[in-house]
Structures are given as C-alpha cells and as structure tokens.
Structure 1
Amino acid sequence: MTDIVPVRRELALAEGAVSYLEWKGEGAQPALHFAHANGFNGMTYRHLLAPLASRFRIRAWDARGHGMTALPADPANHANWYVYRDDLIRFVENFAAEAGGPVLLGGHSMGGTTSLMVAAERPDLVRGLILVDPVMVPRAARLMMSLYNLTGRKGGPNSLADGAERRRNAFTDKAAMAAAYKGRGAFRTWPQEMVVDYVEGGTKPRPEGGIELACAPAWEAANFRAHGHDTWDALARLKVPLTLIYAGDGSTCRAPAPQLLGESDPKATLLRLGQATHFLPMEFPDIVRRETLALDARLS
C-alpha cells in the first residue's frame, strides 16, 4: 500500500458538512472521487484506493446519513436517490474547481448509481466513470417495490430493507463489532482489514457508552426502499467514457443495463467477474484498480 495517508476533511454546505477522506501526492494529479455503497463509508475502501494515490488525487466522501457527514437524513421523507445526486454535484463542483478540471468518478453499488446520475446531469464535471456493480433496478422491479412500499408489505423486493432494519446497532467497542462481523453475512468474503476500516469509518460513540452505527439501520433500510429515481433515464442521457465492472454472482447491475452502458460509449470496457459477488471491490480490489488506471490511460 502507498505511504500516502488519507486526511479527513470537510466541505461546508448550507445544510451541514460533508466529511471525506483525501489522498494527495506531490504535483499535479488527475482527480478521482469514489462513492461508497449503501450503509458503508469512504474509509471502507481505504485498501482499494490507497495504492492509486501515487497516480490520482483522491477523495472518498461519506454520503448523507453515513459516516461522519452531518447532513439531515430523515428515513420518513426519503423517496429516491436524487438527494445523493444533488449532494455529489455540489461536492464535485468544489473538487473540479480545486483540481482544475473534470473529475473521474468511481462508485460501488449505490455510489456507482449516484455517480452515473451526476454524469448524466453534469457531464461538464465528469471526465469518466468507473462503475462497480451499480444498482440498476429494472422498471418492473421498481414498480413492484413501489407497490410493496405503498401497502407496507414485508419481504419480496424489500427483503434487504427488512434485514437492514433488524441490524444490531450498538456494540461495546470497535474491536467487538469487527469480530462480530468477521466471516459473516455481507462480510463473508471480505478481508478482515476492510471490515476493520468499515467499522472505523462507520461508527460513532453512544452517550451511554459504547459505539453505534453512524448509518442508522432505519436510514440504510430507507435507501433500499427509496427507488423513486429513474436510473434508466440517466443512462439514456449518458455521454461520458466509462468502465463497468459487475458481479457474476447476484449482480445488482441487471439486464439490459450492461448492454445499454456499452452502447453509450463504444469504447467502454464491460467486465463481468464470474466468481465475484456484489462485494467485488473487497474481493478483487486489484482488478478494480487495474481498470481504473486503464480508463485513465484511455482518457489521457
């Protein structure tokens, strides 16, 4: 891993401050932002991003309701991911101004979807896209999810949300939380150092003692249910160079998304990793880094 250590910084917005990590080397570097998945945080991807810091000036934010960012996050009024799109536009406007040009946007899962929507809305800010198993829910599945939400039904398309609501929220300390997650559930295929980073960046002290998740289970669940945004409209308007890396096992980037993404950029790299799950940045970080550098080389 590179010796460049990330520094935690804040960007002040009208509603509060966005917290983010920054890796910055010497001299001029192309700008790269990486957006995390639902329930995660920027620190989770430290082992993925740090080796890229010799090439890029990197920022990795904590999205609204996650990590150390202090923006309002009310589950009762959360209907879509446009709020993340709009937050990220403001964040990237600042980054692009400081870096002196458009930013390469990378993102995993929800972070990939958010980055795609930013690129569709503000292509002037985006040099290219690294989409790592973005969430591209077919229209029929979105309709079914809406029906479940309206009727208050559990299970089905809302099973992930139901599970998030039941997550244990409090632990005695970070070591106990990391040990409890080791080799279990969503963390089954993760290297333990990435579990430790997830805990480090995604917890806060409890007033009564111990720690709790910075992304409240109710907010994580609301994200799983909040699919009022139209990613297919964003994809239809997409005009920036891209690379897509998606999972061979249970991908959230569902057909016809890979084909349509390829059609939006005739030179796009579309890479399906047959043994990867949705957590492919944890399982195959070397491939994600390789393809990030390859896209950068194509754009240089």
Structure 2
Amino acid sequence: MNVVVNAAPARRELALADGAISFLEWDDGAGKPPLHFAHANGFSGGTYRRLLAPLAGEFHIRAWDARGHGHSTLTADPAKHRNWYVYRDDLIAMAEDFRAATGQKIILMGHSMGGAASVMAASERPDLVRGLVLIDPVMTPPLFRYMMKLWRLTGRKGGPMSLADGAERRRAVFESRETAVDRYFGRGAFRTWPRKFLEDYIESGTRIREDGQAELLCAPAWEAANFRAHGHNMNRAVAKLNVPFALLYAAEGSTCRQPFPTLMRARDRKAHIAEVPGSTHFLPMEFPDVVIAEVRNFKARLEAEGR
C-alpha cells in the first residue's frame, strides 16, 4: 500500500427535516469536479480518509456519515427500518445541495451499502449525477430479499440473518479507542485491514463518553437493522440506470455477485468492470491504490467523452 494522506477535511452539516447529515469536505475553492463518497454499513466517512485524501488535489470531495452513523443526527429507529430507500433519498438531498454549491453534476462513489445507495440515487435522479464509481456494492437478487422477509416473519436466526445476528451482539463500549483498535486488529471482519485504516474507523466511528470510555456511534441495533432491511429493489434500480460507471468487486465474499455484473454491463457498454484479485469485501482498505487509480481512470474517461 502506498497511500499518502496529504489533506485535512472540514466537518460540515446539511440540515434536513428530521436532523442533519454530517459530512467531511475536502475543498480548496479551485472549482474541481465534485465527488461524493458513501460508506459501508456500520462505518463513517472518516473510515476512508486514507482513500479519499490523496484524491483531494483532483476533486472537491464530500464524504457523509449516513443516517444512524457517525456524527449525523437524522432519525434512525431500528424497529421501523425495512429498506435502504431512506439512504437513496438522503443521498439525493446531498447531491442536490452539492450540485447547488458547485454548479456541476456529481460523481457518486460508494462502498458496499454506500454503493447500493449511490446506484439507487443515480437511477432516480440522473440529472444530478455525472457518473458512479462502485466498490463491491451490495446488490441483492429477489430470492435473497424473499428469504430475508421469510426469516423476519418467522423470527428465525442464522441463514441470511447471520450478519445481522452478529452485529446485534457487537460490543458497543470500550475502555478506550486504543483498546477497541487492539480488540479488532487482525480479527474477524477486520483481519485484512491495515492498522491505520482501523484506527481511522475507530477515531471517526466512536465518541468519548463522560466516563472516558469509547462508544460506537453506529449502534449495533442499527447496524443489524441495516443487514435485515432488504426491502429495496436493486434489479429495478439497475434496469433504470442511465449514467456511466466503473465497478470493482471482490474476489472473495463479494456482495456484487452474478447476475449483477452482467446486468450492469448492459447499462454501460464502456464501463470498466473488474474483479480485484486477492480482495475481500473490504477491498478499499486492502487495495486503496487500486481504487484510487480506478477513480482517476474514470475521471479521464468522462473528460474524454465530454461528459
């Protein structure tokens, strides 16, 4: 990994009816093309600081903390959460504000849940979106959605609910941020993460309580609810998609399985779609140089096509 963090973002807010979206912003006022980054379930924009900061010399970047994550204050009730359309709508609000601020269409970039939200937002509002850079987006076929609904209705554990069950059992409070990093490093979902990325995840995804302990800002119950909330229709969103894109997906444990790479190809015949050898779902942390190069190549494609 050869990533240099060479820019510090500002933290800002976008007020909505039920609270505010908190986001990081890299902007030197030079009128660079706007790029918005949407993170994975359970994380925050700051988790990807080492991925985004090297691009700040070429883009005006915003990276949100999605509803129920990080420093955002929007309503997030796990008992009422059934699909990810709420993220689509929040992202449309972000894109509207970003376009108003820059006068340009936005490149939407997203990992995992953030990639899915970006596809749905672009499908719904192509007038706001210049293109998409997708990093192992979560694209669930109809059968998976039906299974999730069946498991939910019957109250069953395991199977398609395994990730949600595990998230619900997550420890939410640690003696310190250092303790949290030590607990996670090299283990479970974080086994392939470089320590610096893990430190950024804990730094941006926890708050220090009055008793000095570190508490996760994304409550385990909300993270679990996201894993269960698959009532949205990704097939429909892909069928409506009409913007250029680039897609990277994982070699192991990808959340963008067939038929979606093939379905996506039909939406943009010029798209660069590639499996990243040796990668897992956490390929932005494992191969940041590959992702950074993909963003730059996508920008060059848009410029060559006059988009």
**Structure 1 position 46 matched with structure 2 position 49:** yes
**Which of 52, 64, 74 is equivalent to 1:71?**
74
The match for 1:171 is 174
The match for 2:237 is 234
- CA drift of 1:268 comes to 0.3
2 CA distance for matches of 1:138 and 1:231? 7
2 CA distance for matches of 1:226 and 1:31? 30
Tell me the amino acid that sits aligned with residue 24 of structure 1.
Answer: D
The match for 2:227 is 224
Q: C-alpha root-mean-square deviation of aligned residues, in Å?
A: 0.9
2 CA distance for matches of 1:206 and 1:227? 33
The 3-state SS of whatever aligns with 1:250 is coil
Structure 2: gaps (5+ residues):
none
- CA drift of 1:269 comes to 0.4
Equivalent pair of 1:2/1:53 in contact (CA under 8 Å): no
**Which of 29, 32, 35 is equivalent to 1:32?**
35
2 CA distance for matches of 1:11 and 1:26? 19
- CA drift of 1:138 comes to 1.5
Pair 1:144–1:64, CA change in 2 (3 A):
same
1 CA distance for matches of 2:66 and 2:185? 25
- CA drift of 1:24 comes to 1.2
Tell me the amino acid that sits aligned with residue 282 of structure 2.
Answer: F
The match for 1:123 is 126
The match for 2:207 is 204
Alignment of 1:141-156 (within 5 A): 141-156=144-159
The match for 1:19 is 22
**Structure 1 position 194 matched with structure 2 position 192:** no
- CA drift of 1:73 comes to 0.5
1 CA distance for matches of 2:82 and 2:130? 29
Equivalent pair of 2:14/2:20 in contact (CA under 8 Å): yes
Structure 1: gaps (5+ residues):
none
The 3-state SS of whatever aligns with 1:91 is helix
Tell me the amino acid that sits aligned with residue 23 of structure 1.
Answer: W
User: TM-score scaled to structure 1, two decimals?
Assistant: 0.98
**Which of 244, 249, 254 is equivalent to 2:252?**
249
**Structure 1 position 180 matched with structure 2 position 158:** no
- CA drift of 1:134 comes to 0.4
- CA drift of 1:64 comes to 0.3
Deviations 1:71-107 (A, max 9, x none): 1100000000000000110011000111111100000
**Which of 74, 82, 85 is equivalent to 1:82?**
85
The 3-state SS of whatever aligns with 2:266 is helix
The 3-state SS of whatever aligns with 2:21 is strand
Moved more, 140-149 or 109-118: 140-149
**Which of 108, 111, 136 is equivalent to 1:108?**
111
The 3-state SS of whatever aligns with 1:175 is helix
Equivalent pair of 2:5/2:50 in contact (CA under 8 Å): no
2 CA distance for matches of 1:68 and 1:147? 34
Counting aligned pairs with the same residue, the percent is: 60
Deviations 1:28-71 (A, max 9, x none): 20000010000000000000001000000000000000000001
1 CA distance for matches of 2:223 and 2:28? 34
- CA drift of 1:212 comes to 0.9
